[in-house]
Amino acid sequence: MALTPPITDVQELKSHPALARLLEWSTAAVKEVKFDRDEMTIVIDRPAIREACALLRDNPDFPFNYLSDITCVDWAPSEPRFEVIYHLLSIPKKERVRLKVRLDGASPVIESLTSVWPGANYFEREVFDLFGIRFTGHPYLRRLLMPEDWEGYPLRKDYPVEGYR
C-alpha cells in the first residue's frame, strides 16, 4: 500500500456524497477539500459549520447521522492558528467524513453543535478546556477534565511541558 499524493481538486472529488450535498447548498461554505489516505476532509467556512452539519445529518440519501468526535489542532505560530475537527460517520452507508474549521488565534470562537447532536456537549467542553476555543450556544461551557480554577490551556503548543508555570 504505497502512498499516493492527496487529491485537492474540488471538481475531481465532487462525486463524494458529503461534498456534493454541501456544494449543492452553498459553494461559498466549502473552502478547501482534500482526499488523502482514503479519508475525505472538507474545510468549512466558520459561520456555516452548524448548518452544514445539520444538512449532512438530514440528507435522506446519504445521512451522516453520527458524530464520532470533535477535537482541535493548534498550529501555532502560523495563522489561522486553530483547526477544529469534526469526524462524522454515516451508519447506514458506512462512510466517514472529516470537517474542519480554521480559527484565528486572537478570538477562537465557533458555533456549538449541541443543537444538532446533543452528544457534542462533552467533546466541545473538552476542546474548550484544553484549547480555549469558545463555543457559542453551548448550554454549559465549563472545564471538563482540568480543575475549575486552572489557568491556561494545556494542549496549546505554547503551554510548557515541564517546569514551573
Q: Per rule CB under 8 A, is residue 42 in the interface with another protein? A: no
Q: Per rule CB under 8 A, is residue 79 in the interface with another protein? A: no
Q: What angle do CA 3, 39, 56 make, to 5 degrees?
A: 165
Burial class (CB in 10 A: 0-12, 13-18, 19+), 81: buried
| CA proximity to 120, closest of 155, 74, 85 | 85
48/116 with CB nearer another protein: 116
Q: What is the dihedral of CA 18, 68, 117, 119, to 10 degrees?
A: 180
Window 94-123: residues binding another protein (CB under 8 A): 94, 96, 98, 114-115, 117-123
State the binding string over 50-69 for another protein (x if CB under 8 A, else -): ---------------xxxxx
d(CA 66, CA 82): 24
Q: Per rule CB under 8 A, is residue 85 in the interface with another protein? A: yes
Binding residues for another protein, rule: CB under 8 A, are 1-3, 6, 36-37, 39, 41, 65-69, 71, 73-74, 85, 87, 89, 91, 94, 96, 98, 114-115, 117-123, 126, 130, 139-140, 143-147, 154-155, 159, 161
